Structure 1
Amino acid sequence: MHEFPILRDLVILVAVAIPVVVAAQRFRIPTVVGFLLTGIAIGPHGLRLIGRPDSVAGLAEVGVILLLFTIGLELSLSRIIRLGRTVVQGGGLQVAGTILAVVILAAVFGISLSIGILYGALVALSSTAIVLKIYTDRGELDTPHGRVVVAILLFQDLCVVPLMLLVPLLAGATLGIGSALRDVGVGLVVVGALVLGGRVLVPRVLERIATIRNREIFTLCIMFFGLGAAFVTSSFGLSLAIGAFIAGLVISESEYGMQALSDVLPFRDTFSGIFFISVGMLLDIGWLLEDPLRLLAAALGIVLLKAAIATAATRSLGRSLEVSVMTGLALAQVGEFSFVLAGVAVPLGLLGPETYQTFLGASVVSMLAAPFLISAAGPVADFVCRVARRPAMEILPHEAQEIAELNDHVIIVGYGLNGRNLARVLKAAGIPYVILEQNGQTVRRARLEREPIFFGDGTRPDVLERVGIERARVVVFAISAPASERRGVAVARKLNPNVRIVVRTRYVASIPELERAGADEVVPEEFETSVEIFARVLRIYGVPSNVIQREIDAVRSEHYGVLRGISLGDLRLDALKHLGIHGALDTVEVEEGAPAVGENPWSLELRRETGATVIAVIRDGKALYQPDPEFRFRVGDTVVLVGSREALEKGSLLFRAKSDNVA
């Protein structure tokens, strides 16, 4: 019987990884950290279930290839252009600033320039996988700090390939600058040829493959491009991952990029997991525990340095101190691609065994700290702002006078789509309002439109006090950060117990917490979208508009608890369908107490009074097109009307209860 050592190792690897990752998920530890812990447990420095990490090195290399391939697929020039200055300036300052700071620190300890640059590159990258997962779970991707974090992470992803090309050059600083420059020159030629050839060839091939309409062939073709490009670059002495990244970038610019990404993601998740496990196998936990202070000092130094530089980079974009601090804490861990860079540097002799072990240990500690740092970012940012004694918001003297004169006004926190629409309606109605927004560019644009908008955090008590919350009638929170919303609601309720607080939230599950914090009205986007969808679908099928509205009102009055069963009585949708009318048509159910009850179509004089015409009445599931003279409307009948929109609105009132008409 043949033995397959790699199969045995894979079985052990997966068997241990499953419970570890499940436990990590339960305790809200990032999956990447779970994989690293798995590697530590089963590796030669742990339980020794797998004695040689190189037994899975080939699969780990495939994981690196797929990681870079999907990064290329996820990037696009249009996305980079959309984020623009935030990517280039914010990301550039964060990466360059971190490398420069590490180089200076390295020089203080007598470390060479080339090694200092390598250390800086390893520290500069943050974990896209960890940060985006946590921000998605917390609903903070579309917040002021969330958008900056995404932009900086995007720039870091763009830097991975240049940094991988830089590592051999750094090794060449001691081995011979001439040969290093020659290698880099060859690399640039190969990369350029791949990009140009790929842009010409790939879209045409994928277009042909797409016409076959076979998903298996399409997926195989995508994998061929990724692995083939990796093989080409490795043949010229470059990293496998560089070729995969270029292939992904080329495919992302075609119309098939999204489909390619969805096909590759399952492979990436599996093989990248093996890569992180293999990295964990290399970590000698026993050696690190011999000098735990060194490990903790390195981890703490990395976190503080990265947080400080990312905070400064964000401030350079004109963001508030609070947003800058929250961004800095979110980016304070070492990223997964730092392990890829380290893997390139070790064979070149740039990282010694002790340094590599310290780096791995400090990186894992920083990753473990990431969820806690992000959770504490809000309170820490508030504390920093208080210590710095920075003004919560800047108001000119004449603006302060205008705010002081405001009374019975609305405070709008957040000037996104919802905030803009609300401001437009309030202005048209002549209702006084003031807006708080944390995006400096948005504030500047709105001020040019003469909006009463100020740069400030509407969840802070000093900011709300300066816009007159004690005199306001309504505060509307139209932001996309659940934690900030809860904090803002609690602060607003404490400052003014009588103010009406309206909150827009994304999910129904957030309603109880916001109501406990003090919100009077909570409008969940998730549910309002579902309500609008079911209402439109029912209208298409001819369900009476007042029946639909009654159900919508009932759902909202029950605080979005559950959708009630919609009772359509004896209404048969087939009867409506057979009418064959697609113009200005409406159906209305006759309600108890309506003026039409007991009347016939002629005595109502519907057409003369409203302009609408009755073309059918549905009773007991049957459509009556020409009721006899003895016919009388009764409760539960469904009346089909045609006419103009205004006529339909007037005509439907005759079939509704009088209380509805008065309302």
Structure 2
Amino acid sequence: MQDAHAFLQTLATVLGVAAITTVVFQRIRQPVVLGYIIAGLVVGPHLPLPLNADTSTVQTLSELGVILLMFAIGLELNIEKLVRVAPTAGVIAVIQVALMMCAGVVVGRAFGWTQIESIFAGAAIAISSTTIIAKVFDEMKIEPRLRELVYGVLIVEDILAILLLAVMTTVATGSGLDATTLLLTTGKLVGFLVVMVVAGLLVVPRLMRYVVRLGRPETTIVTSIGICFGFAHACAAMHYSVALGAFVAGVLISESGEGHTVEHLIVPIRDMFAAIFFVSVGMLIEPSLVLENWVAVLVLSVVVVVGKVVGVGLGGIVTGCGIRTSAQAGLSLSQIGEFSFIIVGLGSTLGATRPFLFAVAVAVSAITTLTTPALIRRSEGAARFVEDHVPRRIGTFITLYSAWIERVRTAPAAATTGARLRRLGVLLVLDAAFLVALLVGGGLLHERIQHAAASSLGLSEGASQVLVFAAAALVVLPFVFGIVRLTRAIGLTVAGDTKIGRPVALVVQLGLLVATAAASVTAVEPFVPPGVGMLLLVAIAFIAIVSFWRNARQFELEVQAGGTVVLDVLKSKLAGEATAHAAHGEGHAAAPPPAPNDAPSLLLGLGAPRLLRIAPGSTAVGRTLGELDLRAKTGAAILAIVRDGKPSMMPGPKDQLEEGDIVAAVGSEESLSSAEALFTALEGDVQPA
């Protein structure tokens, strides 16, 4: 009975203090997650306050919060959604996570942390917070394109976080990163996941469809949570993370088509236990450890904000999202949250990291959580500033490249093209996997191979090192060349092997190369000498930027050549229209006005430019292209503006539109229709999103 009273006292204390902090933080317009962490500090053992809650009880309840959070994330995913977001959000997430992992490892080693601690630090700062972003987005009016992009990246990041949890478990329990132990534990994990997923697909979707058809909400919620805890227990019994089992259970239920039904029912339970989880995080914070490591906290906070803006921005540009949308997405994702706590908590539980790392991660999360609302609120202005100050050549290239990708994405793909892209993608993944395996194996076994070569061949230590390095290069070079060849083939398949399509194909290739290299470097960074992986990634990025700049110039020349012909067509149309008006004024039969949208398809891949006239009283009159944000709102790009018969090629974001201007726009049919509606919308009308 005494235990029951102690449990009740702990629960009442935790939920009571959490209720007060959540009300206060809602009133001051701050994320309630931060309020829960403050509540944990208040009821925790590290402050001299008379509200101490039992730590072991709260930790036990917080496990339920972790399980339900991961279960809810799994419910939002299914194979169809993953396929839809993979081409854009997948590339962005891989580039961003890989960059942040490398940055975290470099920072950890710079502060003298152990190799394992540096790996956990990199994983902790790599994943943005779905909970924080969802709460902030709900309070702000975020345009649909940006919201869809950010949530797509979050979905892929959540999947990568689950994989990181599995890898972190393998690394932390490995015997000093021994090759044999690492291979065996990874193989056991993969085998266990395959058995769990296959068996689950045979049973769970059918069971959930049957239960939901019964029409009893209590039966549905009990069954679904029972499945969730069952899978979590299976993972715990095999010494894997309970979060992994809960996530798999959520995905399996989502495959039944009843994910939204179950998600709606578990929201109150999830929110309550999630609150206890965040309170437990606050209880583990030791202010003295935060103060001792305040430099690391500040450095990692800056790395999170800057690194995520750069990583998401580069990924967004490569996938055709444009400068402004990419910058806004990067600012929106510049924080860490629940997964960071879970990852560093796993390291602490397994004894792989010291207690200070948890305190540092929570402090970084608190700082970035505080800055997130302000960054999102000012993201549009900041993105506009970046767009206005990008060199005109680069801005033009990115805009037209984005229109090209938009057209490719929305165009119906031929069966042969889709099959070719799938085959090339599978081959690329296989080449990258073999390359990573060889590099990891070489990193773990190079000392043994070096000693064996020195003893058997009678070589000195330096000579044996050179020999081993040369042999390793000969082994991995075919895979490197294979990756370069495959990315080039994918780029040409997407953009077409035409004169103007080749620069676009090269950008696609560079983006895939950077994503593949970033993921590969992240995988091998723990097994190579300090800084080697980061230096390799910087070198690849530098080469990509130089190539991008050179091709931007070539692309600009090609588009200008085609655009000049378009302008000649425009001038002839305007002259014909003026002649027709004059003939009509003299009483002659008026010739029908020339159709405004029959310009020839002069820019291969971009399609025929559509000629749009700025209507009198339009909301576009007197506004610059940057203020209209046409690319982000509609997906179209402006090729030229004709005013009083005088053409202006490749207008920039500071160019202003006036009544009667004729605009030549390119893009998909849907984006061009949206642009036309925007230019003809009158003051007071609702602009298309």
Normalised by the shorter chain, which TM-score bucket?
Answer: 0.5 to 0.7
Which of the residues 321, 336, 355 maps onto 1:353? Answer: 355
The one-letter code matched in structure 1 to 2:685 is V
Q: Against the structure 1 CA distance between its residues 358 and 84, is the aligned structure 2 distance closer, same or farther, given a 3 Å change threshold?
A: closer
The reply on whether 1:42 has 2:43 as its aligned counterpart is: yes
* 1:399 is aligned to 2:563: yes
Paired letter, 1:448: G
| 2:344/2:357 contact within 8 Å kept | no
Taking structure 1 as reference, are residues 172 and 363 closer, same or farther at Cα in structure 2, changes over 3 Å only? Answer: same
Cα gap change, 1:312 to 1:524, in 2 (>3 Å): closer
Alpha-carbon distance in 1 for matches of 2:593, 2:15: 63
- Cα gap change, 1:140 to 1:61, in 2 (>3 Å): same
What secondary structure does 1:283 align onto?
coil
Match of 2:198 among 159, 181, 196: 196
* 1:202-236 per-position Cα deviation (integer Å, ceiling 9, x unaligned): 13322332343322112111111111111111111
Aligned residues of 2:100 and 2:304 also touching (Cα < 8 A): no
In 2 relative to 1, CA 402–24 (structure 1 residues): closer, same or farther, beyond 3 Å? farther
Q: Is the 8 A contact 1:233 1:242 kept in 2?
A: yes
Q: 2:604 matched to 1:448?
A: no
Q: Are 1:78 and 2:80 matched, yes or no?
A: yes
Alignment-derived partner of residue 520 in structure 1: 683
For each residue in 1:53-92, what CA deviation from the matched residue of structure 2 results, as whole angstroms up to 9, or x when unmatched?
Answer: 2221111000100111111111111011112311322211
Letter matched to residue 12 of structure 2: V
CA distance in 2, matches of 1:11, 1:431: 73
Deviation at 1:332, TM superposition (A): 1.2
Distance 1:355 1:36 in 2: 16
Work out the CA distance in 2 between the residues paired with 1:305 and 1:179: 33
200-209 vs 230-239, greater mean Cα deviation:
200-209
Task: Specify the alignment match of 1:16 in structure 2.
Answer: 17
406 and 274 in structure 1: CA distance in 2 versus 1, 3 angstrom threshold: farther
Distance 1:434 1:33 in 2: 57
Q: CA–CA distance in 2 between the matches of 1:191 and 1:448? A: 46
| 2:10 aligned partner, one-letter code | D
Q: Distance in 2 between matches of 1:138 and 1:79?
A: 25
Larger radius of gyration: 1
| TM-superposed deviation, 1:252 | 0.6
Structure 1: how far apart are the matches of 2:58 and 2:369?
A: 23
TM-score (norm 1): 0.62
Among candidates 218, 233, 250, match of residue 220 of structure 2: 218
Are the equivalent residues in 2 in contact too, given 1:168–1:180 (CA < 8 A)?
no
Local SS of the residue matching 1:447? coil
Change in CA separation of 1:298 and 1:93 when aligned onto 2, cut-off 3 Å: closer
Q: Would you say the 8 A contact 1:61–1:275 is kept in 2?
A: yes
Q: Which residue of 2 aligns with 1:147?
A: 148
Counterpart for residue 139 of structure 2 = 137
SS of corresponding position for 2:686: strand
Instruction: Describe the SS at the equivalent of 1:523.
Output: coil
More relative contact order, 1 or 2 (CA 8 Å, 6+ apart): 2
The aligned runs of 1:616-655 (5 Å cut-off) are none
Q: State the Cα distance separating 1:402 from its structure 2 match.
A: 5.3
How many equivalent pairs are there? 461
Q: 1:287 to 1:164 in 2, by over 3 A?
A: closer
Instruction: Tell me what 1:508 maps to.
Output: none
* CA displacement 1:424-467 (0-9 Å, x = unmatched): xxxx99785899xxxxxxxx9993255359xx994348999985
Q: CA deviation at 1:108?
A: 4.8
Query: Offset of 1:166 from its aligned partner?
Result: 1.0
Cα 1:498–1:86 change in 2 (3 A) is closer
Asked if the contact 1:219–1:263 (Cα under 8 Å) also holds between the matched residues in 2, the reply is yes
Cα 1:92/1:192, change in 2 over 3 Å: same
The residue aligned with 2:477 is none
Change in Cα spacing, 1:157 to 1:302, as seen in structure 2 (3 Å) is: same
Return the alpha-carbon distance in structure 2 between the equivalents of residues 297 and 105 of structure 1: 8
Please name the residue that 2:299 is paired with.
297
Give the corresponding residue for 1:459.
626
When residues 121 and 48 of structure 1 are mapped into structure 2, their CA distance, relative to the original with a 3 A threshold, is farther
Could you tell me which residue of structure 1 aligns to residue 372 of structure 2? 370
Rate the CA distance shift 1:256–1:462 in 2: closer, same or farther, 3 A: closer
Is this contact kept in 2: 1:97–1:309, CA < 8 A?
yes
| 1:379 Cα offset (Å) | 1.7
- Structure that is richer in strand per residue: 1
User: Using a 3 Å threshold, how does the CA distance of structure 1 residues 263 and 465 change in structure 2: closer, same or farther?
Assistant: closer
Gaps of 5+ in 1: 410-427, 436-443, 473-487, 500-517, 527-663
Q: What residue is the counterpart of 2:497 in the other structure?
A: none
Distance 1:287 1:497 in 2: 63
1:377 shift after superposition: 1.3
- 1:145-167 CA-partner distances (Å, limit 9, x unpaired): 43332222111111122111111
AA aligned to 2:32 is T
CA change 1:115–1:203 in 2 (3 A) is same
Query: For residues 200 and 50 of structure 2, what CA distance do their matches in structure 1 show?
Result: 44
Q: 1:206 to 1:298 in 2, by over 3 A?
A: closer
Residues in 2 aligned to 1:280 and 1:352: alpha-carbon distance in whole angstroms: 17
For 2:687 and 2:276, the matched residues in 1 are separated by 40
Q: What SS does structure 1 have at the residue aligned with 2:222?
A: helix
1:400 & 1:364 partners in 2: Cα distance?
54
- Alpha carbons of structure 1 residues 525 and 166: separation in structure 2 relative to 1, 3 Å: same
Asked if 1:167 corresponds to 2:168, the answer is yes
Aligned to 2:56: 54
- Counterpart-to-counterpart distance in 2, 1:469 and 1:8: 74
Call closer, same or farther: CA 1:432–1:67 in 2, change over 3 Å: same
Distance 1:389 1:60 in 2: 50
- Looking at secondary structure, tell me which structure has more helix per residue: 2
Q: CA, structure 1 residues 400+28, in 2 after alignment: closer, same or farther (shift >3 Å)?
A: farther
Question: Contact between 1:469 and 1:496, CA under 8 Å: does it hold in 2?
Answer: no
The answer on whether the counterparts of 1:169 and 1:181 sit within 8 Å (CA) in structure 2 is no
Q: Distance in 2 between matches of 1:315 and 1:207?
A: 41
Matched to 2:73, the amino acid is: I
What one-letter code is carried by the residue in structure 2 that aligns with 1:93? I
Give the 3-state SS of the residue equivalent to 2:272 in structure 1. Answer: helix
Distance in structure 2 (CA, Å) of the matches to 1:404 and 1:32: 59
CA contact (8 A) 2:173 2:350 kept: no
Give aligned-pair identity as a percent. 27
What residue identity is the alignment partner of 1:520?
E
Higher alpha-carbon deviation: 240-249 or 61-70: 240-249
Per-residue displacement from partner, 1:100-157 (whole Å, max 9, x unpaired)?
Answer: 23334444555554433322111110011222332343332522x4333222211111
| Separation in 2, partners of 1:130, 1:5 | 32
Which structure 2 residues correspond to residues 410-425 of structure 1 after superposition, within 5 A?
Answer: none
Structure 1 position 95 matched with structure 2 position 97: yes
State the AA in 2 paired with 1:134.
V
Residue 668 of structure 2: aligned partner: none
Q: Work out the CA distance in 1 between the residues paired with 2:18 and 2:562.
A: 63
Counterpart of 2:40 in structure 1: which amino acid? Answer: G
Q: Distance in 2 between matches of 1:116 and 1:434?
A: 60
Alignment-derived partner of residue 658 in structure 1: none
Alignment RMSD: 3.7
* Separation of aligned partners in 2, 1:253 and 1:226: 14
| Stretch deviating more after TM superposition (75-84 or 17-26) | 17-26
